[in-house]
Amino acid sequence: MVDPPGRIVVSGLSKRFGEIRAVDGLSFVVEPGSVTGFLGPNGAGKTTTLRMLLGLVTPTAGTATIGGSRYAEIPTPTRAVGAVLESASFHPARTARNHLRVYAAAAGLPDDRADAVLGLVGLADSARRKVRGYSLGMRQRLGLAFALLGDPQVLILDEPANGLDPEGIRWLRGFLRSYADAGRTVLVSSHLLGEREEAADRMVIISRGRRRRS
């Protein structure tokens, strides 16, 4: 059976760093058309799992696929998967617009796509400001704009609500809900259980690298 384009399948995924077992036999599935909260305390293994899913860390065991393929096997990853990890950074001397145009050019996307995604995340009026003057919440929105550049089927976001004020959090929930309602896949990590309970269709909860309940 062929996986649909947006299905995420994590199967028996494990990662050891020396004597530390960061992820231990983790398995779950994220279906298209849903928002899935990936929850656990800081240090639970969430970011390591996402890094393995995105091909940034090699698993010790198990597999992680998107649409039936490992991330490295996806022909045009920017158009298939949009991702922002907690460590996302930006050149402080560039404007948000120029930052996104650099990545748009690298992905073969038109320059005006940068303006389009800045509008989607509410940064159109700040597009020509240098990133060094952005608040943490504005940087979070810029990270989301970066993830949206390729109009991807899948969004993978690591702690995207950090730094957002209550209005920004409400906006983010609505945006992710509409993205999933369009038949796309949203996987969002958080260490705050209540925050994702209000937004997610399903939750995958981990602790010490192992799945606890859904």
pLDDT for residue 195: 52
Q: How far apart are CA 68 and CA 202, in angstroms?
A: 21
For tokens 């996104």, the residue is 100
Residue 178 in this model has a pLDDT that exceeds 80? yes
Strand order of the β-sheet with 61-66 is 20-30, 8-17, 61-66
Closest to 187 measured CA to CA, from 89, 57, 60, 71: 71
High-pLDDT (> 70) share of the chain, %: 93
Q: DSSP letter at 5? A: T
Which tens digits make up the pLDDT trace of 82-122?
A: 999 875 678 888 999 999 999 999 999 999 999 999 999 99
Using DSSP, how many helices (H) and how many strands (E) does the chain show? 7, 9
Phi first, then psi: give them for residue 124, nearest 5 degrees: -60, -40
- Please measure the distance between the N-terminal and C-terminal CA atoms of the chain and give it in whole angstroms: 25
Phi first, then psi: give them for residue 194, nearest 5 degrees: -60, -35
Q: How many CB atoms lie within 10 A of CB 20?
A: 8
Structure tokens at 31: 């279906």
Which tens digits make up the pLDDT trace of 38-58?
A: 999 988 999 999 999 999 999
Residue 192 in this model has a pLDDT that exceeds 80? no
The pTM (predicted TM-score) of the whole model is 0.92
Percentages helix, strand, coil for the chain, rounded to the nearest 5? 35, 30, 35
